[in-house]
Amino acid sequence: MDTHSGTSVQDKGTRRIGSALVLGIALMMVVLDILLDTLILDQFGQPILWPAFIVLIIGAAAITLICLRGMRREKSILTRYEDALGQLRAVADNLPGALFQWFMTRDGDCGFRYISQRAEELFGINVDEVCKDWKKIHIHPGDLSRWAETLRRCRDTMQDWNFEGRIIHPSGEVQWLRCMAKLDRGKEGEVIFNGIILDVTDAKDAEREIKEIRRNAERLGAEILLVNQSLNESNDTLKRINRQKNEILGVAAHDLKNPLGGVVGFAGAMRASLDEEQLDPIRADLVDMTDSIEQSARHMLNIINGLLNASALEDGAVQLEMSPCDMEALAKSVESMNEAASRRKDIKVQIDSEPDCVVNGDPQRLRELLDNIVSNAIKYSQNGQAVAIRVYHSGPSYVQVSVRDEGPGLTDDDKTKLFGKFQKLSARPTGGESSTGLGLAIAKSIVELHGGKIWAESEYGKGSTFYIELPVNPPKQSCSLPL
């Protein structure tokens, strides 16, 4: 494509019309000469010229018509050509890159034959100036030799040209360009590069950012790996310390359990030996002291049993003895275990159960689970209130137990630490009962050992409901979950 192609075509058309006109006139002159040589003489011996004039007029008219027709045809062709050329230029100027035609000769001469208007944006130089002197494009010194080498190699091998390099814009900014071209043979040994130049500066910037992000990610990954290793080491250390703590607690609890059991037994025997009907003031004081000793010893014994139980569950030392368990029967058993405490506070415990609520579980652990929940409900209820126990099927493969009380309920803060070890909640036992802070944590571990779940729903000031959901056939458990 040549920037002067329209003018060239017009000049060629004009020359063709001129040539036809000259040829027509020459032919007409030849015909006229022949006619003059063969003129007919009139009666006076003078030649008769009017036939020649007629031939001349007809010839002139014919030549004029031929020329006019040729001019119209050439004009039509030129118009179509200019329209097509304008459309092609519009397409070229609206492409994302600059179309170009570059030539190279064997002796090293080279330059742009054509480059589209988009190049002015890329190079910051007028397109006509670029076509006159391509060296006005400031190729980055770091890429200049590589640019020249790739051009020479493609010229010699006739392989497609693909080059990516930098130029320095007149504004001083560095731009990345990608050049792609197909090669053709031209006249006199020229090699013609027909292609496109694209601005890939944004893509290069994005590529650098991606590489930087990848490097940062790799660095962060390495740091996270080191932190994880450190955390694993710390976790192993904490596990070892926790095992040592549990061993120490276990030894201490076992050493204290038997003496405390003896204290409880002796206190009970002393209390039984005192005849309430024949009490003098001194003996009455002894009765009160004996009751206090027994209550304190039982409280300490409960704490020790809780610690031993929690340590066993945490260490995975508990192996479930699985058998069919009737949850209604277990609920009634727990009601009997807490009968004295409920009678002392005039609390009515109600049990409502659907038939055949049987799960496969460890009856001793499930009884302990229900006892922790029911005894808490009684412990935090006021005198004369009620505790409701429901046992029912929550699905074809699950049994659910709910325990509802009319106590003070749970605050939002209570709910966040409900099943943690040694957690003290906002509510306090209403009858002076003791609390170890381990009951709900142990209950949660027992439920999860059976593949179930436990949760509470409560509105502060309106009581609480604890839900226990157990699968009828729990998955086999070989270890316990940590408290």
Pull the structure tokens for residue 13.
């058309």
| pLDDT single digits (tens) 38-88 | 555 555 555 555 665 676 677 667 767 776 676 777 777 677 767 666 666
pLDDT digits (tens, 9 = 90+) for 230-243: 999 888 888 777 67
Q: Is the pLDDT of residue 395 over 90?
A: no
**Which residues make beta-bridge pairs with 324?**
360
Residue 139, CA atoms < 13 Å, CB-side half-sphere? 15
Question: What pLDDT shows up at residue 315?
Answer: 59
Write out pLDDT tens, residues 267-311: 666 666 665 555 566 666 666 677 667 666 666 666 666 666 666
Provide the percentage of residues in the chain whose pLDDT is more than 70: 66
Mapped onto helix, strand or coil, the DSSP state of residue 225 is: helix
Q: What is the mean pLDDT of residues 406-435?
A: 81
Question: Which DSSP string corresponds to 400-422?
Answer: EEEEE--S----HHHHHTTTSTT
Confidence of residue 1 (pLDDT cuts 50, 70, 90): very low
403 pairs with which residues across the strands? 389, 466
Predicted pLDDT of residue 174: 92
Question: Degrees (nearest 5) of the Cα angle 338, 342, 345?
Answer: 150
Residue for token digits 């003059």?
A: 36
User: Over the stretch 11-48, which tens digit does the pLDDT of each residue have?
Assistant: 555 566 566 556 666 666 665 565 555 555 555 555 55
pTM, whole model, 2 decimals? Answer: 0.46
| Residue recorded with tokens 């007028």 | 126
Band the pLDDT of 424: cuts 50, 70, 90.
Answer: confident
Provide CB contacts within 8 A for 379, sequence distance 6+. Answer: 341, 429, 430, 431, 433, 435
